[in-house]
Structure 1
Amino acid sequence: MALSVQQRGKVFLVLTVCLLVVGVCVPFSGHDLQRVMQVAIGFCAVLYGLSVAPSERLVDRPTALGLALIIALGLLSSVLAHQPLWAFTEMAVFISCGAIAVAFALLRRHGGEALDRTLILVVTGLCLIKSIQYLHAGGLAFTSGASTLDPDSLLSGFSNKRFYGQFQTFTLPLLALPLLIPNVSRAWRGAVFALLCVWWLIAISGGTRGTWLGMVVAGVVLAALGPSGRRWLGWQLAAVVGGVLLYGAVFTVLAGYLGVEIASAASDRLTTSLSGRGPIWWQAWHMLVERPWLGFGPMHFADIANKTAAHPHQAILQWTSEWGVPSALCVAVLAWRGGWATVAEVRERMLSTKRADLLRLCLLAALIAALVQSMVDGVIVMPNSQVWLALVVGWLMALHVWRTPAPTALPLAWGVWKALTVVSVGLLVFIVVRDLPQINQAQQQYLSTHDNLLQPRFWAQGVIAR
């Protein structure tokens, strides 16, 4: 018996939530497991997309043409790249993220407003699990009798604390939604606010400046959009104060009382240093100047070995150096059009207290914060961040209100898109099956000859230079 559209959506949602929990919450999770998680979610998204045909277009004609041009330029750049297979793999990641965004958009359109509540419950549940893990690790650390404590050691589930910070950049804005809805009970609002304070405590102790910067810019933008945005900012500022007080109580008062010295305090991160990004930004700039039209090929920053990273920690430099300036301009124009359309909707509905309108506000804040952080960090590279970026974009697509009657979907264009997603996910599955059995051995060989340092890109050891 064939499943209905709603039943298929529920299956996709359950599988995605389970994969997110595994990728984020298991203590032994890291970059490679999260990459496998991303490929698995992409596989589920493609299956769901094959079984559900949209009755109306998800994007307008200029956006569709822009995406087609980006993909065409990427294919040409990949063919001319030094290592075409890795270039096509990066393209497959890009298309699979598009498939995940489309799947979430279709899921929300068919599931309605009930899915908004589910999304926030998932976000709240993930943040609660990570907060409990953090507090449990802190309790063990303070009762262990150790004379020093590094707050970074309390973070789990990510290969690097910056990747943890990227996850918080997406979830901090969304976690404030229950505080904005007027008919939420006082007990539930108090519990969510306490969780938001703890979540800010973790963001402060983690010291990811990109998260701080992204949230500041998102707050400024939302405050300028109207009263709902200022309410969102007010709750975030209150939670920041709560997080700072918790940080002081735990890492200053309690640590001093127990005689524990705190290493790598949050105040040590209040600097304007580039943390070693200067050389890799220059490398990306020189690549851009040498090949401005098509770049060196997707993922090919990692084909030029350096001692710092396999990506430049700057989204614009990464895209221009690898995909070329024309492709980067297309991406920038599409991002601006989509962002401006969302801003216009938020401004029109700034007085609305409907859950969907308030969720759109929080999703916009998450998108702004993530894009700002991508200017100094690898938000568009890390697998978990790519999934959350696709989720945010897909949900915003579903919530978009067309100003004119929504155009009907084109069967030919939808068929081409489905074929692209199938090929892309198939390539990613092939790469995973090929590399995963010997990935630990390959990493150990790399560590033994490269200063015991992994440089993540597709895998945790992401350098593809031969």
Structure 2
Amino acid sequence: MKALTPAVLIYSLLALVFTAFCLSAIQIWHQGYGWHDQQRIVQLLLLCAFAPLAILLPQAMLPRFAQLLLIGLFLVGLCSSLFAALPEWALKEWSRYAGLTLAALAIRALARRSTWQSIILWAMAAVGLVHAFQFLIYYLTAFATGIRMLDADLLFNGFSNPRFFGQFQVMLMPVIALLVERCRQQRRTAFAALLGLALISQWCIAFTLGGRGLWLGLLAGHLALLLINRQLWRIVALQAGAALLGFMLFLLLFKLIPLWLGLDPALRDSLRTGFSGRERIWLWAWEMALANPWLGVGPMHYSATYNPIAAHPHQVVLQWLAEWGFAATFIALVLGAWGLLHGARHLRQASSNELDAGLWVAIVGALVLAQVDGVFVMPYTETWLALLIGLALARWSKPVMPSRIQRIACAIISIPVFMVLGKVLISEVPTLPQTVDAYMTQHHTGWTPRFWSQGWIPM
């Protein structure tokens, strides 16, 4: 019997923690922890696994200017953290973003192997398939138990708020669509049909929960795809067909059947036009940015100043301006623009296929949704976004060995990431339910998620 090699142990550890991460949106493991806290804990475990492994795993090289921008970004963020009112809280946010960057770089290298690429995509689709199945089961249970009540907020699982589910869906639905198209091309009819039903069900859920930002993100991503390369129209047509069938299923389940049974389902208003208080938290974020233009108030420190609405601005650019300052935000925007232009350039090539289209729509959709929602706050969605960006980097760049500067920078950054996030797991997680309850009882606050489900930084 052959001994296990270090590489096998590394990959087995990653697979184990990644499986736990996927399952964190399917089943609650401990009643003391809600969905948000459970997903944050597993996210930190995954990032702690990636931190040391980012040094050991083979990396793919970033362009020199991208390396310098990333190093500059995290140096500015580190200074902002050290000068913040509560540096230990700021360093948690800084370490999380640094860990997500290391994870994306590691996935970029791993995804050169088609096995890892398939594992990530199919794992995401499997989570969406389970959610679709649970949604239909919960719908039938409403009648089988004799309750005869249809409340949209009781029919989805895995997230404490339907908006958080929508953040996952904006990336999930393009991934399912690309897998449907791939299975169709490979004549795997049964898998294509199963995934197609899951996609239709996900659209029905989207219409049920009234996700305006989700619809906007998907629309923007698909329109951009058509403008860049019309040859990839099949993905757009597939998504449009699934949306139409999903809307018909929504009408059947929540309009015709309730009308026939004399029920009045409790649904979210899909046609609301207000900002739901966002204009106020946006204004507070902008004022905070103007008052602290150089380094911001510190990562996560928007949630150090209490307001009656939310612990984050629900707008990623304003969040970074307020917390990291103008310089760091500018660097982040330049990096984002470079990534999108790089992806668009690859999409225009004749070799681009359904994988490129699906990754493009998922990433662009998430970035658009981040302009009106907390995509870069919620643990499950921001981690999936980092993983998909890693797949996109692997697909859209040449396999070149990394420079010495990149390896040294990753090694240096991985040390505080592992230490800070590891300390959180050891010192905060065991007593988290009691700490959260005590804070909410003392300060009379509700659930406002940020790092934990009780998102206000204790002052």
Deviations 1:343-376 (A, max 9, x none): 11011136x5xxxx42122111100000000000
Q: 1:387 aligns with which of 375, 383, 388?
A: 383
Query: How many residue pairs were aligned?
Result: 451
Q: Distance in 2 between matches of 1:3 and 1:45?
A: 18
407 and 21 in structure 1: CA distance in 2 versus 1, 3 angstrom threshold: closer
Distance 1:433 1:308 in 2: 31
Q: Is 2:230 aligned against 1:227?
A: yes
- Alpha-carbon distance in 2 for matches of 1:4, 1:425: 20
Provide the secondary structure at the position in 2 that maps to 1:458: coil
Residue deviations 1:248-271 (CA, integer Å, cap 9, x gap): 111112222222211124xx2212
Q: One-letter code of the match for 2:247?
A: V
**Residues 194-205 of structure 1: pairs in structure 2 closer than 5 A:** 194-205=197-208
Q: Which residue of 1 aligns with 2:43?
A: 38
Q: Which residue of 1 is the match for residue 393 of structure 2? A: 397
Question: Does the CA-based 8 Å contact 1:178-1:184 persist in structure 2?
Answer: no
SS at match of 2:307: coil
Deviation at 1:317, TM superposition (A): 0.2
CA distance in 2, matches of 1:451, 1:244: 41
Is the Cα–Cα contact under 8 Å of residues 149 and 261 in structure 1 kept in the other structure? yes
Q: Which residue of 2 aligns with 1:210?
A: 213
Structure 1 stretch 224-233 or stretch 334-343: which is displaced more? 224-233
Task: Give matches, 1:315-326, under 5 Å.
Answer: 315-326=316-327
Matched, 1:49 2:49: no
Q: How has the CA–CA distance of structure 1 residues 448 and 259 changed in structure 2, closer, same or farther, with 3 Å as cutoff?
A: farther
Distance in 1, Cα, partners of 2:165 & 2:56 = 34
**Structure 1 CA distance for aligned equivalents of residues 404 and 18 of structure 2:** 30
Amino acid at match of 1:36: I
Task: Give the match's secondary structure for 1:262.
Answer: coil
Residues of 1 paired with 2:397 and 2:437: CA distance? 51
In 2, Cα distance between equivalents of 1:362 and 1:349? 16
Letter in 2 for 1:456: P
Cross-structure match for 1:364: 360
Q: Which residue of 2 aligns with 1:276?
A: 277
Percent identity for Structure 1 against Structure 2: 30
1:190-229, CA deviations, whole angstroms, 9 ceiling, x for partnerless residues? 2221111011111211222211110010111111122343
Structure 1 SS opposite 2:428: helix
Cα 1:105/1:211, change in 2 over 3 Å: same
Alpha-carbon spacing, 1:389–1:68, altered in 2? closer, same or farther (3 Å): same
Question: So what's the TM-score if we normalise by structure 2?
Answer: 0.93
Output the CA distance in 2 between the equivalents of 1:165 and 1:215: 11
Alignment-derived partner of residue 5 in structure 2: 3
Query: 2:169 and 2:350 mapped to 1: Cα distance?
Result: 26
The answer to whether the 8 Å contact 1:280/1:308 transfers is yes
Aligned to 2:154: 153
Distance in 2, matches of 1:249 and 1:436, equals 44
Asked whether the equivalents of residues 12 and 45 of structure 1 are also in contact (C-alpha less than 8 Å), the reply is no
Task: Give secondary structure in 1 for the equivalent of 2:25.
Answer: helix
AA aligned to 2:314 is H
Q: 1:75 to 1:178 in 2, by over 3 A?
A: closer
Residue among 438, 441, 445 paired with 2:434: 441
- How far has the Cα of 1:42 moved from its partner? 0.8
Are 1:293 and 2:286 counterparts?
no
Contact 2:25 2:158 in 1 (8 A): yes
1: CA distance, partners of 2:76 / 2:45: 27
Amino acid at match of 2:412: A
The whole-number CA distance in structure 1 between the counterparts of 2:117 and 2:378 is 25
Listed one character per residue, the Cα deviations across residues 65-120 of structure 1 (whole Å, up to 9, x for unaligned) are 000110111111111111111111110011111121122112112xx223333333
Q: CA deviation at 1:303?
A: 0.7
Give, in whole Å, the separation in 1 of the partners of 2:445 and 2:295. 34
Letter of the 1:375 counterpart: Q
Asked whether the 8 Å contact 2:48–2:417 carries over to 1, the reply is: no
Mapped to 2, the partners of 1:442 and 1:259 lie a distance apart of 46
> Could you tell me how far 1:407 is from its partner in structure 2?
5.3
Partner of 2:404: 411
- 1:12-411 aligned at under 5 Å gives the runs 12-27=13-28, 30-54=35-59, 56-57=60-61, 59-109=62-112, 112-181=113-182, 182-265=185-268, 268-349=269-350, 352=352, 357-402=353-398, 408-411=401-404
- Counterpart CA distance in 1 for 2:14 and 2:422 is 21
What are the superposed Cα offsets for residues 122-165 of structure 1, whole Å, 9 maximum, x if unpaired?
12211111111111111111223335321111111212111111
CA-CA distance at 1:186 after TM superposition:
3.0
Q: TM-score, normalised by structure 1?
A: 0.92
Separation of aligned partners in 2, 1:258 and 1:144: 15
Aligned partners of 1:27 and 1:156 also within 8 Å: no
In the TM superposition, residue 316 of structure 1 has moved relative to its aligned partner by 0.3
Runs of 4+ aligned residues of structure 1 deviating over 4 Å after TM superposition are 449-452
Change (3 A) 1:255 1:78: same
CA RMSD after TM alignment: 1.9
Q: Which runs of 5+ in 2 are unaligned?
A: none
Q: Which moved more, 1:223-232 or 1:76-85?
A: 223-232
